[in-house]
Structure 1
Amino acid sequence: MKTKLSVNVNKIALLRNQRDIGYPSVVEAARRIIEAGAHGITVHPRPDQRHIRPTDVTDLSRLIGDEFAGSVEFNIEGNPTEDLLAIVHEIEPDQVTLVPDDPDQRTSDHGWDLARDGERLTPIIEGLSAAGMRVSLFMDPDPEAMRLAAASGADRVELYTETYATGFAVGDCEHVLADFVAAAEAAIANGLGVNAGHDLNLDNLPLFRRSVPELAEVSIGHAFTADALKLGYHAAVAAYLAALA
């Protein structure tokens, strides 16, 4: 199965926002990333607009729809607050990834507790699905939780990979990787597609790709941006596509 690469452009927006002069351009970065061969663009708009702004979401949707329709997917992720859902229903991206982060979190750091949150999420997921959007849930690698994810009506899960990345960095990831394999197998058994993201990079991605079955998509932002600063957008995309081969 070919694993698709979706590049998260949040950090490009974060750099732009440090000065009120409009560059680097998030849209131009996305165009170059897509032209280099990436399969998708991901954004995670937050309430404080520290990086991606609502205008960016609109501009990126227009870019993909006008120049790359049918060949590139747009993924909007975030906590399904009223504000985020309003943006999502206006834009109608290909995929919506629901993430249980608080407004003041620096970054996402845990998956959904569906025993607690599933009842609240189910009608939200139904509404997104009815509008034609694929829905993915940000989840810890817990095989037992995959049944609840499927029961909520989600199409996919995005496995939160920070624990794998941490273990890989210290040379002790085998037991953690086994959790991700088991979670992916459980997701597949329950009819769910499998995405993954968080702290994946050029070093740890190949092993993860080889090990986790039927990995549909990875979403990579921080590491990609760091590599693009050294390599340029085109070379960075090529390197990540090679890591997924």
Structure 2
Amino acid sequence: MTALSVNLNKIALLRNSRGRDYPNVLAYAEKLIAMGVDGITVHPRQDERHATRQDTRDLSELCRQYPDVEFNVEGYPSVEFMALVAATKPDQCTLVPDAPDQLTSDHGWDLAEHADWITALAAELKSFGVRSSLFIDPDEQQIKAASQTGIDRIELYTESYANAYAEGDYQSTLMQYKQSAELAQALGLGVNAGHDLDLDNLTQFLTIPDILEVSIGHALTIESLEFGVADVIQRYLAICRS
């Protein structure tokens, strides 16, 4: 079974756009947990344009009340971000190489340049008691390098798969992801996935064995506007649990 972790950044963005605490991110997370999701994700960027550091602290406290629900915090590992992770101790921290002015995450780590830093960060997260995950492209050399850093998991960046699926010719791209996942697993890494996965393309992606978690937010929020959040969550859970 693959765990479904719902990214709440777009809910936070809606709240921030009106200057009121509506929708309330914590209340929305509680509704999702009641619907059966396996995890909650936030990505508190440096400018706090959607999820904030306070959201992260509040959601950490909430998820502690639900032992079966994992809390995943994503982000660029600045000194401030790592201090937030140390304070909140999520179940998982996903390290993402995004610049402060970046619209959205659009590439994985380059470990030819950052391997020593990631090794130090993996050790730091381990000292916090937090599982580590690394946002990474489906690239053999990057995955081999990741396995030498002490990172617990990788999160495969799935935009190229989503684009190929939308164009109708995705089998070779899916095979690339399958081979990448198998390599990571053979090297002792757990495998998560995320970015632009949706109700249309997720079923085929999860033909790849042993994907431990998918983190989905943008598409899920849009689909919820069309179909209703309860229906959308149940459809995602059915895919992940099949």
TM-score where L is the length of structure 1? 0.96
Structure 1 segments unaligned to the other structure (5+ residues): none
Q: How does 1:24-173 map to 2 (within 5 A)?
A: 24-66=23-65, 68=66, 70-173=67-170
The answer to whether the Cα contact below 8 Å between 1:44 and 1:77 also exists between their aligned partners in 2 is yes
Matches of 2:129 and 2:83, distance apart in 1? 15
What is the CA deviation profile of residues 219-245 of structure 1, one whole-angstrom value per residue up to 9, with x for unaligned ones? 000011111222333222101112222
CA drift of 1:62 comes to 1.2
Q: 2:201 aligns with which of 196, 200, 204?
A: 204
Match of 1:213 in 2: 209
Matches of 2:15 and 2:225, distance apart in 1? 14
CA drift of 1:190 comes to 0.4
CA drift of 1:145 comes to 1.9
Counterpart residue identity of residue 191, structure 2? V
Matches of 1:15 and 1:196, distance apart in 2? 25
What is the CA deviation profile of residues 174-214 of structure 1, one whole-angstrom value per residue up to 9, with x for unaligned ones? 1111110110011001000000000000000000001x121
Match of 1:232 in 2: 228
Match of 2:49, SS state, is coil
The answer to whether the Cα contact below 8 Å between 1:143 and 1:184 also exists between their aligned partners in 2 is no
Matches of 1:232 and 1:39, distance apart in 2? 19
TM-score where L is the length of structure 2? 0.98
Counterpart residue identity of residue 217, structure 1? E
Matches of 1:228 and 1:32, distance apart in 2? 13
Counterpart residue identity of residue 22, structure 2? Y
Matches of 2:72 and 2:193, distance apart in 1? 13
Q: Which moved more, 1:71-80 or 1:143-152?
A: 143-152
Matches of 1:85 and 1:130, distance apart in 2? 12
Identity over aligned pairs, percent: 51
The answer to whether the Cα contact below 8 Å between 1:40 and 1:75 also exists between their aligned partners in 2 is yes
Match of 1:215, SS state, is coil
Counterpart residue identity of residue 166, structure 1? N
RMSD, aligned CA: 0.9
Matches of 2:82 and 2:109, distance apart in 1? 17
The answer to whether the Cα contact below 8 Å between 1:10 and 1:221 also exists between their aligned partners in 2 is yes
Structure 2 segments unaligned to the other structure (5+ residues): none
Match of 1:18 in 2: 17
Counterpart residue identity of residue 5, structure 1? L
Match of 1:9 in 2: 8
The answer to whether the Cα contact below 8 Å between 1:139 and 1:160 also exists between their aligned partners in 2 is yes
CA drift of 1:120 comes to 1.3
Counterpart residue identity of residue 8, structure 1? N
Match of 2:206, SS state, is helix
CA drift of 1:159 comes to 0.1
Matches of 2:20 and 2:152, distance apart in 1? 40
Matches of 1:149 and 1:103, distance apart in 2? 24
Matches of 2:89 and 2:150, distance apart in 1? 18
